[in-house]
Amino acid sequence: MQLQAGEAERIAEVMGGLSTPARVLILARLLDAPATVGELTEALEMSQTSVSNHLRILRHLGLASGDRRGRHVVYRLQDEHVRAMVEQMLRHASHG
Q: What domains lie within the chain, and their CATH numbers?
A: 5-94 (1.10.10.10)
pTM of the full structure: 0.92
Rounded percentage of the chain residues whose pLDDT exceeds 70? 99
| CA–CA gap between residue 91 and residue 85 (Å, rounded) | 10
DSSP E strand stretches across 1-96: 35-36, 64-69, 72-77
Decide if pLDDT at 78 tops 80. Answer: yes
| CA–CA gap between residue 19 and residue 73 (Å, rounded) | 24
**Residue 1 pLDDT:** 81
Decide if pLDDT at 59 tops 80. Answer: yes
Q: What is the mean pLDDT of the chain?
A: 95
**Residue 44 pLDDT:** 97
**Residue 96 pLDDT:** 64
CA atoms within 13 A on the CB side of 27: 31
